[in-house]
């Protein structure tokens, strides 16, 4: 009889969320659907679109993948020339339809819908204050805090209320807000999460990544800058810089894993080229005598190509990925080796037999998947297995919009590199150095957040925020 198991979770940081907005096109909802489809990698739990037909807002949302939620019938119920959308992977607030964005309300200033990528570290404190003043929350998402701050603001105009609310929140936000008149898009002063501006004919678009523009044949115009707020309306694009200036702290893990390789983010080059540069640098830092280089697909492919370039070793495909895997609930037989990994990956004995193999992955979080991969490669005939990771050891959780394990679940936070090597049963293990990673990324080194590798959080936490975020969980 099949044994029921919990859902098998990938041994990776989970993607965060995607936002998309379009102003001034008669098929706004259809284009929002395509934009969200291109951004599916940033969140697979739920999706939603809100459109504005000039009189009222229309909303369609659901749990699952974009293509499963938005049928032709659903999209036909979203008329209007502007729309915003959101793909969700829950970081704050948990799962459930009530937390699926965009969140939409009607209040004294008209209709309002909000889609947010990031995490507000002072959301719990703000929520308690708002509830004390009579606010009634419909969800457990930190995004709803922004809506209530707008509603409670005493500023005269809606734009001033939006600015007032975003000035009060702390943490990461790339946010898209639709009003009766247009769309407001803003990025926090540190610029943790990406946000891009594009143009499609006479329409204006904002999206988490530029790959959303490519699907639409839209023009990538520029990155929305950290601390910038733009308004898309009948006048075109109007830019504001309403927030206090802060040191840039763009998430370097976007380059490591999250962003799609064909995207351009943070004003730099293509993510693909940067990941290849990580691999080349890794080869220079930790070369080893071997026969072939293979990636852990798909996220490890660019870095493995770079490693092969930097080392002069041939690149091979030694692991094949099943691209049609959803969530896995059952294990057919206890005797099936490494079932959780074999559902997604399978080794190629003809490539591996008798070879000294360098296997390149983008990150190592808990180590459980790496351990199974190494054993799978050996079972397929690999003579030696050398694990290479194209990022530094992850020692700290993220509080800026990534759903990460707790500190005690991060193997590098409590084990040495040699202890990890023994656990994953590799012949050798090496990580890309922090300096090597930052130097391979575009721009100056001080513009990135590397807290998951260093515990140097760009925003200092108050005691109340520490309790909200569970910073001391590992010591309890």
**How far is the C-alpha of 30 from the C-alpha of 182, rounded, in Å?**
18
Q: Do the strands 250-251 and 345-347 form a parallel or antiparallel pair, or are they unpaired?
A: unpaired
- Positive or negative CA dihedral for 437, 440, 441, 443? positive
17, 184, 277, 364: which one is catalytic?
Answer: 17
8 Å CB contact between 329 and 343: no
Phi, psi of 60 (to 5 degrees): -135, 130
8 Å CB contact between 35 and 215: yes
Strand partners, 174: 117, 187
Tokens of 195: 């946000």
299 annotated ligand-binding residue: yes
DSSP at 9 = P
CA distances from 230 to 81, 177, 253, 279 (A): 18, 10, 26, 36
Q: If we measure between CA atoms, which residue out of 172, 208, 195 comes closest to residue 401?
A: 172
Judge whether 211 counts as a catalytic residue: no
How many other β-carbons are positioned within 10 Å of the β-carbon of residue 312? 9
Task: Please tell me whether residue 252 adopts helix, strand or coil conformation.
Answer: coil
Phi, psi of 256 (to 5 degrees): -70, -45
Q: What angle do CA 21, 26, 30 make, to 5 degrees?
A: 55
Where does residue 59 rank: exposed (0-12), middle (13-18), buried (19+ CB within 10 A)? Answer: middle
Phi, psi of 355 (to 5 degrees): -100, 150
449 annotated ligand-binding residue: yes
362 annotated ligand-binding residue: yes
DSSP at 106 = E
**Spatial CB neighbours of 312, under 8 Å, sequence gap ≥ 6:** none
452 annotated ligand-binding residue: yes
DSSP at 425 = T
Q: If we measure between CA atoms, which residue out of 321, 476, 338 comes closest to residue 408?
A: 476
Q: If we measure between CA atoms, which residue out of 315, 403, 406 comes closest to residue 359?
A: 315
DSSP string across 299-361: TTHHHHHHHHHHHTPPB---EEE-TT-----EES-TTSTTHHHHTTEEE-HHHHTT-EEEEEE
251 annotated ligand-binding residue: yes
Task: Please tell me whether residue 182 adopts helix, strand or coil conformation.
Answer: coil
Which of the residues are catalytic? Answer: 17
Give the annotated binding-site residues for Mg(2+): 299, 361-362
Give the annotated binding-site residues: 251, 299, 361-362, 398, 449, 452
């Amino acid at each position: 009889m099949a044994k029921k198991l919990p859902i098998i979770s990938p041994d990776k940081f989970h993607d965060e969320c995607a936002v998309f907005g379009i102003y001034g096109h008669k098929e706004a909802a259809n284009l929002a659907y395509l934009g969200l489809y291109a951004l599916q990698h940033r969140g697979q739990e739920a999706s939603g679109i809100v459109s504005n037909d000039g009189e009222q807002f229309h909303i369609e949302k659901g749990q699952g993948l974009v293509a499963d939620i938005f049928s032709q019938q659903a999209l036909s119920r979203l008329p209007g020339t502007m729309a915003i959308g959101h793909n969700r992977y829950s970081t704050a607030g948990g799962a459930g339809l009530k937390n699926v964005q965009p969140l939409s309300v009607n209040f004294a200033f008209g209709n309002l819908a909000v889609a947010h990528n990031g995490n507000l570290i002072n959301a719990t404190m703000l929520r308690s204050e708002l509830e004390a003043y009579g606010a009634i929350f419909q969800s457990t998402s930190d995004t709803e805090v922004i809506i209530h701050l707008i509603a409670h603001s005493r500023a005269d105009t809606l734009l001033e209320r939006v600015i007032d609310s975003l000035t009060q929140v702390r943490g990461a936000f790339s946010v898209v807000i639709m009003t009766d008149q247009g769309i407001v898009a803003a990025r926090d002063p540190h610029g943790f999460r990406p946000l891009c501006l594009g143009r499609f004919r006479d329409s204006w678009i904002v999206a988490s990544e530029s790959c959303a523009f490519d699907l639409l044949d839209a023009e990538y115009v520029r990155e929305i800058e950290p601390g910038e707020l733009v308004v898309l309306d009948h006048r075109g694009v109007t830019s504001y810089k309403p927030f206090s200036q802060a040191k840039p702290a763009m998430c370097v893990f976007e380059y490591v894993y999250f962003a799609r390789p064909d995207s351009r983010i943070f004003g730099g080059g293509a993510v693909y080229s940067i990941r290849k540069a990580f691999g080349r640098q890794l080869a220079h830092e930790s070369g080893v005598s071997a026969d072939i280089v293979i990636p852990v697909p798909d996220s490890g492919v660019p870095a493995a190509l770079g490693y092969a370039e930097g080392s002069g070793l041939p690149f091979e495909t030694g692991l094949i990925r099943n691209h049609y895997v959803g969530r896995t609930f059952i294990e057919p037989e206890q005797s099936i080796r490494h079932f959780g990994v074999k559902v997604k990956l399978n080794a190629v004995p003809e490539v591996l037999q008798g070879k000294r193999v360098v296997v390149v992955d983008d990150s190592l979080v808990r180590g459980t998947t790496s351990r199974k991969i190494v054993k799978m490669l050996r079972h397929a005939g690999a003579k030696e297995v050398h694990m290479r990771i194209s990022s530094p050891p992850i020692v700290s959780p993220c509080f800026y919009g990534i759903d990460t394990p707790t500190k005690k679940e991060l193997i590098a936070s409590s084990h040495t590199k040699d202890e990890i090597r023994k656990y994953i049963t590799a012949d050798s293990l090496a990580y890309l150095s922090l300096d090597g990673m930052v130097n391979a990324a575009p721009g100056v080194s001080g513009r990135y957040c590397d807290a998951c590798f260093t515990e140097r959080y760009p925003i200092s936490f108050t005691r109340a925020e520490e309790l909200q975020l569970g910073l001391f969980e590992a010591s309890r």
